[in-house]
Chains A and B, each alone.
Chain A
């Protein structure tokens, strides 16, 4: 599933060279919350990893494949009842066959996820 417009709505994007800041709004009516979890909606960490990939693809304008995740720390749970707007900050560094990717998901008060990995040209 493409997460854009299903899990989140892109409100704004600012791209400079191989970096980007994406202002998004989580959709609290996303069906994933029926199962994650039935009594307490929590944004799936795996969805947020996919969100980073989709933002990285917006920077380069083509499909990327995740090859390696060096580390992805879930710093703070994202509860859609409390947090709806987020910034996804992505920095790519070109390397042979793809990119090193460093990303943060944050808002003005908190950091929620930090991601370091490699993505290949799809």
Chain B
């Protein structure tokens, strides 16, 4: 577990912080992050489920946390601003409920300029609930 406040690694702030912790980082190659879904989550639907849009934002912020962590480890004073460029091949097998903990693995793929391709799997326990590819754009400035 990375022992630091997640806010120090991502540019998002409440009410749209969608990652709680970085569990592990594998260099520049990927990370595992978590989020417990609370009743005040901004992406909750009336059914009590997290929306698929919320899952997308959680994946993007998990990647953002990895980029921010690596920037901090490199001695940078800022965290990069990462934004969703494209979501591809997303499949949602079920939407998670309040109280469930998402454990999400993001694996970094090819990078071209400021755009990085990643793959992500979101699990609750051992159950795969969502998988997706995503292009993330990165703005690296103060």
Contact = CB atoms under 8 A, between A and B. Distances in A.
Tell me, yes or no, whether A binds B: yes
Interface of A: 1-2, 31-32, 34-38, 42, 44-47, 49-50, 53, 63, 65-74, 77, 117, 122
Contact of A71 (B42, B83, B88, B91): B88
A42 B60 CA distance: 15
Nearest to B54: A46
Nearest to A77: B83
Contacts, number: 89
A63 B57 CA distance: 21
Given A1-B43, A72-B86, A74-B83, A46 B13 contact: no
A68 B92 contact: yes
B103 to A, nearest CB: 19
A71 to B, nearest CB: 5
Chain A's interface: helix, strand, loop or mixed, by majority? mixed
Contact of A69 (B14, B15, B95, B132): B132
Chain B's interface: helix, strand, loop or mixed, by majority? mixed
Q: On chain B, which size bracket covers the interface? A: 20 to 34
Contact of A32 (B42, B47, B88): B42
A72 to B, nearest CB: 4
Contact of B14 (A2, A34, A74): A34
Most chain B C-beta atoms within 10 Å of own C-beta, residue among A32, A34, A53, A69: A69
Contacts of B66: none
Contacts of A67: 91-92
A20 B54 CA distance: 24
A66 B92 contact: yes
Given A46-B84, A66-B52, 11 more contacts: A37-B81, A45-B83, A45-B84, A46-B57, A47-B53, A49-B53, A53-B51, A53-B53, A69-B132, A70-B89, A71-B88
A32 B132 contact: no
B12 A35 contact: yes
A118 B1 CA distance: 36
Contacts of A69: 52, 56, 87-90, 132
A68 B15 contact: no
